[in-house]
């Protein structure tokens, strides 16, 4: 099984960015742990602060890979282009957020991408990503 974790803008600063909201652990460190936890799964990783680069990555892998875990950061709340890209590909996409966006500012309550995604996991800290891996594994088992 081969999956991609795709992180959007400002998520390269995890560990340093607003630790009260996003925790103090770097994503690179967390990723090592997940790769060790799931040795049978190839977990690819890509992060970009640019909307078009995220869309290009979805196009590049979205017809071949078994699943994509997407934290689109603030583009979640603005990007119809990401919505369309998710709809355009065949791989299932799970939307994740580290924070519970519904407990935060009102502008974070709306997602432009949820309706195009298979499901949404938010509010469990970095563990949101692991829960999404579990969901993709379950879907793969049911194929």
* Interface with ligand DQA (CB under 6 A): 10, 71, 73-74, 76, 97-99, 101, 108
Instruction: Give me the least distance between CB of 109 and ligand DQA, in Å please.
Output: 9
Q: Please pick, among 22, 30, 75, 129, the residue that the annotation labels catalytic.
A: 22
Structure tokens at 18: 């607003």
Nearer to ligand DQA, 64 or 74 (CB): 74
Task: Specify whether 22 is catalytic.
Answer: yes
Q: Cα torsion at 86, 5, 14, 38 (round to 10°)?
A: 150
d(CA 118, CA 29): 27
Instruction: Give me the least distance between CB of 90 and ligand DQA, in Å please.
Output: 24
d(CA 69, CA 3): 8
d(CA 29, CA 49): 20
Instruction: Give me the least distance between CB of 116 and ligand DQA, in Å please.
Output: 16
Task: Specify whether 30 is catalytic.
Answer: no
Nearer to ligand DQA, 127 or 140 (CB): 127
138 forms beta bridges with: none
């Amino acid at each position: 099984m081969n999956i991609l974790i795709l992180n959007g803008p400002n998520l390269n600063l995890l560990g340093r960015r607003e630790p009260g909201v996003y925790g103090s652990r770097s994503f690179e460190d967390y990723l090592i742990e997940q790769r060790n936890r799931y040795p049978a799964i190839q977990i690819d990783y890509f992060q970009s602060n640019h909307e078009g680069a995220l869309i290009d990555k979805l196009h590049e892998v979205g017809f071949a890979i078994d699943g994509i875990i997407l934290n689109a950061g603030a583009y979640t709340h603005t990007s119809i282009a990401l919505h369309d890209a998710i709809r355009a590909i065949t791989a299932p996409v799970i939307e994740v957020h580290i924070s519970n966006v519904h407990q935060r500012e009102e502008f974070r309550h709306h997602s432009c991408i949820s309706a195009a995604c298979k499901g949404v996991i938010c509010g469990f800290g970095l563990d949101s990503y692991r829960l999404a891996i579990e969901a993709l594994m379950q879907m793969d088992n049911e194929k």
